[in-house]
Structure formats: structure tokens, C-alpha cells
Chain A
Amino acid sequence: MKLSSDASAVLGTSMRQNKISVEISREIEELVAMMPNDKKTIYQNVDSNPVGDLFRYSVHIRIQHLLTFTTFLLLAFTGLPIHYHEAFWAVPFNNVLGGLDVTRVIHRTLALTFVVAMVYHGLTLVLGSMRKISAGRFDIRQTIIPLMKDARDFSADMAYFAGKRDNRPDMDKFMYKQKIHYFAAAFGNTVMVVSGSSFLFPEFWNSVLPTQYASHWQEMMRLSHPHEALLALLVIAFWHWYNVHLAPGRFPMQWTYLTGKLTREHQIEEHFLEYLRNLVELPDERRYMRENLIESGLAVSEPVQNGVFEDYRKTLVTVDGSAATELAEETRQ
């Protein structure tokens, strides 16, 4: 497989971070060379366990997702009858819960849980990143932070969907779609918490704002809270649920949110750079891929065609004497 520059860069970083030996770097190089250029044929011909093969989300992220989506849905179910309090369905709904006052108490209690989940998530991000940085395993391309590459990926992916490209772009752990979704949710959550708190603590919010904006702020928040909630609910129902439950190849659901694992075919299709990291880190995965390519008759010999492996081995030379010796022997032979 001819590696793209993005793939080479990720592979190089991953090998450096994992301090891969010369032999293993050769093994990876050989394996990549065996992979056909047409990525489609790879992910159409791998074994996948529907509940997931390869690690994607830690248990913390899964708990945060569970907390967020349960509170989000319940917040919507209690928030809608508060906002549309005059609708024919809202009156009996509020009455069943014990009246509008009870609905409000439930709504606020859920909101607090929601905020706790957000704080938990923030802590996970900060502490997780700090741990990775201190272990020398942090790679910004692997995070949710939007990069220019995402814009390129977006246009390349659209070109693929339109039939103007042969393969989907090499995307990382979080592709452009997931970054849009994540930041839409992060922005929406912030709007909901700020506007909700401005209803709960209007005195505080207005004491920190200039007088001429006091009323507009409150009006803006009153407008934002239901609008953002409704938009979020519709986006979740029609976009997110479609993507993770109903889209072809995903039904009845992607199990990732429960198992924390992604299927192999999905990772190769949409997160190829993350799959390359797995090839670096997991000997079993390298073994599987090698056998699979040979047995399905897909193995080719297509040199990587850029210096990523040689460059990596050169860096080893400078830090590791034994590697230097091996390399020197290899050159002699």
C-alpha cells in the first residue's frame, strides 16, 4: 500500500511513541506493503465481531455517555411539557408527574446530574491527556480537537460519496463528523447549562452583567433554552440515531457505547489512522491482518514508497547503539 502523508506521519509518531524495535518496524513495513491500495477491499474482507474488536472508549467515556444520554432524554421529556405547558399532551403529562412544580423539580435534579456528567467528562479529558503527555504517548491528531485535516477529510469524503474518488480519506480516531457532533453537543450543553442557570439564579447572572444587557440576556436565554433543546433533540433523533443505529451496516446498533470496542471493518473504513496505530501496538492484530491478507488472496507487494520506516530506523540509530549495529550489518549484506 502506498501510504498517504497523513498515514506515514501517524505511523512514524506511533512507532516512536511505542519505541518499536527495528525488527517490528520491518514487520510493520512488510505488512503495510502487503495491503492493497484499495482500502475498500480490505474492510470488505475482514472478520468483525458485531459487538466490537478493537478498543475505542474507556469505561469513563462510556459512563459519561450513559449519564449524558439518559439525563438528556429525561430532561427533554420533562422540559418539553414545561415549555409547551399549554399543549393538550402537556397538561396530563405534568399532572401525572404531580403537577408542573414537580416536573420542574425533576428537571432541575436531572440538570444537576447532567452538569456532574459534564464535569466528569472534563476531568477525564484533562487527566487522561496529562497522563498521556507524561507517558510520551500524546498525539493531537488522535484527539477530538479540530484540525485543518478535518476540512480536507470532509471535502475528500464528500468527493468519495459523489463518486469522484476511489477511497474514503484516511481518518483518525475521531473523523470530521464526530468532531462536528462533539462540538455541537459541547456548545449545546454549555448553552443549556448557562441558560438554565440563568433561570434558576437570575439574580446572580444579572448582578454580573451591565444593566443595559440585563433584560436582553434573560430574553436571549429564554429563547436559547427551548430552541437549543429542540434542535438537540431533533439532531439526536434524526442524525445521531440514524448514524449509529439505522445507517446501513450499523443496524441494530454500534455496540461501542456499551462494549467500548469498534468493529475492525468500521475502524479500517472510517478510522484508518487509528487502525495503523493498532498495527503498531498489537502484535495479534498484525498477525491477524497478515494471515487474512494471504488467505483471502488480497496480499500484494506494494512498497510504502516513502521514507517513514527508514526515517524511523535512522532515529533509532542516534539513540540506540545496537540498532545502529544491526542497520550497519544490513547495509553490508
Chain B
Amino acid sequence: MNISRLIAALLGVVLFLPALSNAFEDDESCLMCHKYPKMGRVTEDGTQKSYYVMPDTFSRTVHRNVPCRDCHSNIKELPHKPVKEGVTCDSECHSIENPSTGKPFSHAPIYNAFKESVHGREKQEKGLEADKPYCITCHTNPLYNEAEKAPPKEIIDRCVVCHEDEAFSAKWYNHTSRRIREIKRSSKEIVALCSSCHADQNLIERHQAAAAKEGRELGRKFPYAAVAYQDSFHGKVTKYGNTDAANCLDCHASAENYYLSVHELRPSRDPKSPINKANRVDTCRQCHKTADENYAAIDPHPTHFKEDNLFNYYAEIIYAIVGNVALVGLVGMALFETWGRKRDGVNWVLRVGTSWRRRRKTRTR
């Protein structure tokens, strides 16, 4: 084989491979600049800002089919002027139409529901509000989204009989099949996600102090929610990968409309909350079929802290005292007995492989 041909072929492979892996279409040529890793600036207050878009990573996100300017709608020309307003998740997409309404697609409905929840906040917040999660706190795309596999050929072959554009069929397949597959976090991951804030002692103390100052009511279990759950039966088995036990959202979100409900979590004092007193029995019954009022009275976040559960606090102390007294008493009695029996001539001397005393004097029969 001609050497120059081989080099040309190898060069071709090297040059075209990255291009093939960039699945998303950059029709607006944004990557012309944003493909450079050093693309960024230092702001007036000294913060480093990176404007680098990693094509490989972005091509695996759920937004890979959305043109950049659908969200970054302020950008009108290339090269563009400095951006003043960031993108919020309730923006309207310009090129994607909601097929069910015919209107431009937007996450506004779910965002508005989220704003009404106990977690609701704007994108830019300061102080205590900034402790609450914004959309991307939980929707950490692409980190937990699996890379999409290529659609099965036998399905796409069928689609393109009518929908001639193969790329469209592949996109549609991914969009729908993703929603059919189970893509939500595992129980263990949900607990880890909620605990990332609810187990943060500094955050808890900040909110307790502010609530006390404002005379505002916090949930009774707010300070212990995560730590007490981890110690509960639900928490223990979930930690080891059991998926049958309740995780945070199984009780705090309504099972009737789970995917909407997880966005509008409410405090237990809210009558709409599934853990409100009036709704608890039904919530327990999702798994514990024969649960009744009494069952729903069991504390799923049990602690032994004095300020939370005086009964448990004293019960634990009493148990410790009784246990230690019993053990020390019995062992003490055994030692006293040994000491006392030594007067019988009993000792730890081994004879014929045992410490049996046998006869003291030998006897002829």
C-alpha cells in the first residue's frame, strides 16, 4: 500500500472522528467561538467566568436538540454583545412548538408550580432564599442522564416509511422512549439529593434562627429530617439499595401525580401535603395496605433528642442504666462466688485435661 495513502486515510479518521461525535447541530455557529476551552473572562469583581461549551457533553444532554438562541434569546448577532440577562428555566423556546397547544414550548407551567412550593424561588436570590434549590440544583443534567443509545434500527426503519427524515425519527424516539423508561433517581440517590441540603447543619441553624426571629413556624422535624430518616427502617434498607422502602419523595410528594408533585412539595401543615394529618393514612397505605390512624401516628423520623422526643430521651437513659447495672451485678456476683468457693479448695488447676476437682484423696476400693 502506498504510504502517502495510508497517512491520508489515518488523517481522515483522526480529523473526522470528533466531528462525528458532536451529534448536536450547531446551525447557529455558536461553537465557532464557544468550542475554545479558554473562552471566558474575569469580571470586575474578580470572578472567573467560563463560556466554554463542551460539545461532547452538551451533545448528551436533554437540550442537545434545542438551538442555543431558543434560550439565549437576547443574542441577535454574531459576534454578540455582552449578555446582561441570564437564561431562566421558564423562558419560551422560539423554535420548538408545544405540539399539544401549538404554542412555543416552555417550562413555565412546572416552574410556576415549583414557585408555589415550599422550595419556590427565583433564579437570582440572596440570603435564606438562596438556600432553596433552583431547577438546576436537582436537574443536574447531564450528570445523571445516561448517554442515549442509538435507536434500534428496526424501529427507525419503520418510522422513516412515513417520516422521511431519519434524524427526526431518532429524536422523537429518544424523547418518547426516555419517558417510558424509568429515568428518575434511585431511592438512594433521592435521599442523597435531599440530604445535600437537609443534612447541612449550618443551613438548618440559619433557618431556625431566622424563623425564631420572625416568629415563623418551621416543621417540627425540619432540624432532624435527614439524620433521623437515615436511622429509620426506611432509611437503613434504602441505604443498602432496597427500592421497596419509602424514600423522601414517596411520602412528601403525592403519588397521584408524582412528577408534578415532586415540584410542589409542601410543609405538613399545608392541607394539600400528603403528610398533612388528614392525608397521612392514605399516604401510608400506598405501601402498608392495612395502615390505620394508629399506624399513621408512628413517627417516621424518630430521634432520641431531648427537644424532639422526651420519651425516647429518658427511655434510652433508663435502658443504659438498667443494662449496665444488670451486667455489672451479674458478673460481680460470679466473681464473688468464685472468690467464695475457693475456700472449698476449688481452683483453676487443670487435672487430666479438666479443672474438675474429682476426689481430693485417692482411695483404694
Residues of A at under 8 Å CB distance from B?
40, 43-48, 50, 82, 85, 94, 99-101, 104, 157-158, 160-163, 177, 180, 184, 199, 202-204, 206-207, 209-212, 214-216, 218-220, 222-224, 227, 230-231, 234-235, 238-239, 242-243, 247-252, 263, 265, 269, 295-296
Asked if A238 and B331 make an inter-chain contact with CB atoms under 8 angstroms apart, the answer reads yes
Instruction: Take A44-B344, A252-B354 as given contacts and tell me if A218 and B237 are in contact as well, using a CB distance cutoff of 8 Å.
Output: no
Q: Give Cα A209–Cα B297 distance, bound, in whole angstroms.
A: 11
Residues of A within 8 A of B175 (CB): none
Q: Give Cα A41–Cα B292 distance, bound, in whole angstroms.
A: 68
Asked if B363 and A223 make an inter-chain contact with CB atoms under 8 angstroms apart, the answer reads no
Residue among B293, B295, B345, B350 with the most chain A CB within 10 A?
A: B295
Q: From the candidates A100, A101, A163, A203, name the one contacting B295 in the complex (CB within 8 A).
A: A203
Residues of B within 8 A of A161 (CB): 336-337, 339-341
Residues of A within 8 A of B345 (CB): 44
Asked if B241 and A50 make an inter-chain contact with CB atoms under 8 angstroms apart, the answer reads no
Q: From the candidates B295, B311, B334, B338, name the one contacting A206 in the complex (CB within 8 A).
A: B295
Q: Give Cα A21–Cα B290 distance, bound, in whole angstroms.
A: 67
Q: Give Cα A93–Cα B345 distance, bound, in whole angstroms.
A: 46
Q: From the candidates B338, B354, B363, name the one contacting A296 in the complex (CB within 8 A).
A: B363
Instruction: Take A199-B233, A219-B309, A223-B312 as given contacts and tell me if A239 and B355 are in contact as well, using a CB distance cutoff of 8 Å.
Output: no
Residues of B within 8 A of A209 (CB): 294
Residues of B within 8 A of A234 (CB): 327
Asked if B240 and A100 make an inter-chain contact with CB atoms under 8 angstroms apart, the answer reads yes
Instruction: Take A50-B354, A231-B323 as given contacts and tell me if A247 and B334 are in contact as well, using a CB distance cutoff of 8 Å.
Output: yes
Q: Give Cα A45–Cα B361 distance, bound, in whole angstroms.
A: 7
Q: Is B158's beta carbon under 8 Å from chain A?
A: no
Q: Give Cα A101–Cα B167 distance, bound, in whole angstroms.
A: 45
Chain B, interface size: which category?
35 or more
Q: Mark B216-242, 1 if CB is under 8 A from A, else 0.
A: 000000000000000001001101111
Instruction: Take A161-B341, A207-B290 as given contacts and tell me if A100 and B242 are in contact as well, using a CB distance cutoff of 8 Å.
Output: yes
Residue among A160, A209, A218 with the most chain B CB within 10 A?
A: A218
Shortest CB distance A44–B (Å): 5
Asked if B343 and A163 make an inter-chain contact with CB atoms under 8 angstroms apart, the answer reads yes
Residues of B within 8 A of A251 (CB): 348, 350, 354-355
Shortest CB distance B346–A (Å): 4
Asked if B334 and A223 make an inter-chain contact with CB atoms under 8 angstroms apart, the answer reads no
A-B contacts, 21 listed (Cβ < 8 Å): A47-B358, A99-B241, A100-B237, A161-B340, A202-B295, A202-B298, A204-B290, A214-B297, A214-B298, A219-B299, A219-B311, A223-B316, A230-B323, A231-B323, A235-B330, A238-B327, A239-B327, A247-B341, A249-B341, A265-B358, A295-B363
Asked if A247 and B338 make an inter-chain contact with CB atoms under 8 angstroms apart, the answer reads yes
Residues of A within 8 A of B319 (CB): 223-224, 227
Shortest CB distance A147–B (Å): 19
Residues of B within 8 A of A94 (CB): 240
Apart from A50-B354, A203-B292, A248-B342, 20 more pairs, CB < 8 Å = A45-B361, A48-B357, A48-B358, A82-B236, A158-B336, A161-B341, A162-B340, A184-B326, A206-B292, A207-B294, A214-B295, A215-B298, A219-B312, A238-B331, A242-B331, A248-B348, A248-B355, A251-B350, A251-B354, A252-B354
Asked if A100 and B236 make an inter-chain contact with CB atoms under 8 angstroms apart, the answer reads yes
Asked if B334 and A243 make an inter-chain contact with CB atoms under 8 angstroms apart, the answer reads yes
Asked if A211 and B359 make an inter-chain contact with CB atoms under 8 angstroms apart, the answer reads no
Asked if A45 and B298 make an inter-chain contact with CB atoms under 8 angstroms apart, the answer reads no
Asked if A207 and B295 make an inter-chain contact with CB atoms under 8 angstroms apart, the answer reads yes
A contact patch SS: helix
Asked if B360 and A45 make an inter-chain contact with CB atoms under 8 angstroms apart, the answer reads yes
Residues of A within 8 A of B293 (CB): 211
Q: Is B365's beta carbon under 8 Å from chain A?
A: yes
Shortest CB distance B292–A (Å): 6
Chain B minimum-CB-distance residue to A208: B294
Which 3 A-B pairs have CB atoms at the shortest separation, nearest pair first?
A: A161-B340, A100-B240, A251-B355
Shortest CB distance B315–A (Å): 6
Chain B minimum-CB-distance residue to A224: B319
Q: Give Cα A210–Cα B344 distance, bound, in whole angstroms.
A: 57
Residues of A within 8 A of B330 (CB): 180, 235, 238-239
Q: Is B251's beta carbon under 8 Å from chain A?
A: no
Asked if A263 and B327 make an inter-chain contact with CB atoms under 8 angstroms apart, the answer reads no
Shortest CB distance A206–B (Å): 4
Asked if A248 and B241 make an inter-chain contact with CB atoms under 8 angstroms apart, the answer reads no
Q: Is B356's beta carbon under 8 Å from chain A?
A: yes
Instruction: Take A209-B294, A238-B327 as given contacts and tell me if A85 and B239 are in contact as well, using a CB distance cutoff of 8 Å.
Output: yes
Chain A minimum-CB-distance residue to B324: A231
Asked if A249 and B357 make an inter-chain contact with CB atoms under 8 angstroms apart, the answer reads yes
Shortest CB distance A243–B (Å): 6
Chain A minimum-CB-distance residue to B244: A101
Chain A minimum-CB-distance residue to B364: A295
Q: Is B347's beta carbon under 8 Å from chain A?
A: yes
Q: Give Cα A62–Cα B353 distance, bound, in whole angstroms.
A: 25
Chain A minimum-CB-distance residue to B358: A48
Q: Give Cα A199–Cα B357 distance, bound, in whole angstroms.
A: 49
Residue among B299, B302, B344 with the most chain A CB within 10 A?
A: B344
Instruction: Take A85-B240, A94-B240, A242-B334 as given contacts and tell me if A47 and B359 are in contact as well, using a CB distance cutoff of 8 Å.
Output: yes
Asked if A48 and B356 make an inter-chain contact with CB atoms under 8 angstroms apart, the answer reads yes
Shortest CB distance B296–A (Å): 8
Q: Give Cα A218–Cα B309 distance, bound, in whole angstroms.
A: 13
Asked if A202 and B288 make an inter-chain contact with CB atoms under 8 angstroms apart, the answer reads yes
Shortest CB distance A271–B (Å): 15
Residues of B within 8 A of A243 (CB): 334
Asked if A249 and B298 make an inter-chain contact with CB atoms under 8 angstroms apart, the answer reads no
Q: From the candidates B297, B340, B343, B346, name the one contacting A215 in the complex (CB within 8 A).
A: B297
